[in-house]
């Protein structure tokens, strides 16, 4: 959590162009996480309930981390 707070302070010091660039990078990261989610669901959900539950739990963890990071930057 300290790293997120540190990044938040750095973000506040950026100018508008730099903030737009950072937001674009974060949007891209979220898009890539969603693609990973889709891939995990397609491949692992079909191989068994245990693996499917593991994949779903992993995705929820990743989504929670990315959402909390994005929310803290707003």
Domain ranges of the chain: 2-73
Tell me how far CA of residue 63 lies from CA of 5, 10, 44, 72, in angstroms: 18, 23, 17, 14
Give residue 9's pLDDT. 85
Percent of the chain exceeding pLDDT 90 equals: 7
Which of 43, 64, 65, 66 lies closest to 55, judged by CA?
43
Give residue 10's pLDDT. 86
Q: The whole model's pTM is what?
A: 0.50
Give residue 73's pLDDT. 57
Per-residue pLDDT band for 17 (boundaries 50, 70, 90) equals: very high
Per-residue pLDDT band for 15 (boundaries 50, 70, 90) equals: very high
């Amino acid at each position: 959590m300290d790293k997120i707070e540190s990044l938040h302070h750095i973000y506040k010091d950026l100018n508008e162009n730099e903030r737009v660039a950072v937001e674009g990078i974060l949007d891209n990261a979220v898009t890539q996480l969603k693609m990973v989610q889709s891939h995990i669901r397609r491949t692992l959900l079909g191989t068994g309930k245990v693996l499917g539950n593991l994949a779903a739990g992993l995705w929820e963890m990743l989504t929670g981390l990315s959402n909390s990071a994005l929310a803290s930057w707003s």
